[in-house]
């Protein structure tokens, strides 16, 4: 009888332990797949991805964030495959190229992974959420800035990006605004491909061909650096304003320091990857997705607000 009592008591204690012990916290894994830092803007993307990883993991002990970079579309596909093997619950991806990444993203969705796409849409938009910059707004805002700086009249040149939908949206919106001002003439438009060196060479070409240029829209802060170098070396003084985009720390510092030509730029924040990651946290924790697209607006950076945007520790 004593033995039986011991057994019963032991079972009771085991049951009490089971009932009173809280269940183990469910863990979540969020993968962030982004291009390697091959130029300034993507350097900013990598910086913000790593920063938001620390932020999310500190605020959510049940959540792990895995940041994965890739130098090419093929490598990015392989890296996403690896993230899927690790059992991620959500994938935040900025595709190097939309078409080659669509297949692996479709596979992720079929496996039940929540998909948040950043900046550029997939060839087959299967994502739960798209977080993107306002590309038409980016072009319109830049045009409005230049129109204002020139008081509605002058000669301008355009430095376009890589031929793609993003570039087309920006340039078309820019030209639509300029078309409303008959005293502003677009002298020429050429491709600088969002590249500093190509921006320098294109600006040298513009300066040789056109004796008077009142304003330059580079469409990208990396390009602005190259264009500004060419303009400075030319010893000319006709350009009234040079407007880029993206919000790089080098350009913002010039604005803060009162540069005579670089007084303004337009945001296209690499921090949108952090916005996407925060949305992923909400989604895996059960917050319903209320909208399929989240647009990050384009804003003007000027001397009045530049300090707010200046991140000296950023890679961009």
User: Which residue is associated with the tokens 């332990």?
Assistant: 17
Query: Residues with Cβ < 8 Å from 238, sequence gap 6 or more?
Result: 212, 213, 214
Q: In what order do the strands lie in the sheet with 154-160?
A: 184-191, 154-160, 215-217, 241-243
- Which of left, alpha, beta for 287 (phi over 0: left; psi -120 to 50: alpha)? beta
Per DSSP (E only), the strands in 218-273 are 241-243, 265-266
Quote the distance between the C-alpha of residue 183 and its chain's center. Answer: 35
- What pLDDT is stored for residue 316 in this prediction? 79
Using alpha carbons, select from 250, 246, 248 the residue that is nearest to residue 298: 246
Please, are residues 33 and 113 in contact by the beta-carbon 8 Å criterion?
Answer: no
Q: List the pLDDT tens digit at each of the 316 positions of the chain.
A: 334 443 333 444 444 444 455 544 559 999 999 999 877 788 889 999 999 999 999 999 999 999 999 999 999 999 999 999 999 999 999 998 888 999 999 999 999 999 999 988 888 899 999 999 999 999 999 999 999 999 999 999 999 998 887 899 999 999 999 999 999 999 999 999 999 999 999 999 999 999 999 999 999 999 999 999 999 999 999 999 999 999 999 999 999 999 999 999 999 989 999 999 999 999 999 999 988 999 999 999 999 999 999 988 776 7
d(CA 280, CA 277): 5
Q: Which two tokens stand for residue 200?
A: 């320098």
- What pLDDT is stored for residue 315 in this prediction? 67
DSSP states along 10-66: HHHHHHHHHHHSPPPPPPEEEEEEEE---SHHHHHHHHHHHHHHHHHHHH-TTEEEE
Long-range Cβ pairs for the range 234-238 (8 Å, 24+): 234/204, 234/207, 236/207, 238/212, 238/213, 238/214
> pTM of the predicted model, to two decimals?
0.77
Please, are residues 199 and 225 in contact by the beta-carbon 8 Å criterion?
Answer: yes
d(CA 136, CA 131): 15
Q: Residue 55: exposed, middle, or buried by beta-carbon count in 10 A (0-12, 13-18, 19+)? A: middle
- What pLDDT is stored for residue 4 in this prediction? 41
- What pLDDT is stored for residue 5 in this prediction? 41
In degrees and rounded to multiples of 5, residue 214 shows phi and psi of: -90, -30
- What pLDDT is stored for residue 14 in this prediction? 43
CA torsion through residues 118, 124, 126, 129, sign? positive
- What pLDDT is stored for residue 25 in this prediction? 54
d(CA 268, CA 297): 8
């Amino acid at each position: 009888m004593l033995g039986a009592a011991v057994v019963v008591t032991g079972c009771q204690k085991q049951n009490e332990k089971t009932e009173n012990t809280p269940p183990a916290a469910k863990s979540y894994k969020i993968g962030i797949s982004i291009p390697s830092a091959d130029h300034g803007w993507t350097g900013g993307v990598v910086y913000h991805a790593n920063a938001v990883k620390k932020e999310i993991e500190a605020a959510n002990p049940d959540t792990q964030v895995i940041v994965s970079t890739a130098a090419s579309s093929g490598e990015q596909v392989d890296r996403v495959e690896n993230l899927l093997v690790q059992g991620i619950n959500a994938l935040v991806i900025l595709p190097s190229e939309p078409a080659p990444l669509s297949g692996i993203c479709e596979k992720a969705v079929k496996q039940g992974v929540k998909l948040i796409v950043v900046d550029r849409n997939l060839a087959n938009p299967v994502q739960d959420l798209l977080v993107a910059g306002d590309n038409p707004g980016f072009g319109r805002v830049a045009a409005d800035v230049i129109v204002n700086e020139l008081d509605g009249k002058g000669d301008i040149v355009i430095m376009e990006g890589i031929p793609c939908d993003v570039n087309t949206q920006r340039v078309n919106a820019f030209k639509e605004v300029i078309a409303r001002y008959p005293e502003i003439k677009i002298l020429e438009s050429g491709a600088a491909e969002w590249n500093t060196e190509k921006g320098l060479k294109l600006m040298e070409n513009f300066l040789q061909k056109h004796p008077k240029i009142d304003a330059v829209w580079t469409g990208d802060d990396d390009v602005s650096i190259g264009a500004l170098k060419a303009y400075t070396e030319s010893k000319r003084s006709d350009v009234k304003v040079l407007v880029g985009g993206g919000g790089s720390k080098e350009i913002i510092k010039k604005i803060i320091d009162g540069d005579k030509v670089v007084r303004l730029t337009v945001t296209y924040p690499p921090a949108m990857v952090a916005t996407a990651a925060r949305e992923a946290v909400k989604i895996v924790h059960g917050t319903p997705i209320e909208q399929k697209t989240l647009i990050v607006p384009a804003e003007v950076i000027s001397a009045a607000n530049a300090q707010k945007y200046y991140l000296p520790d950023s890679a961009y």
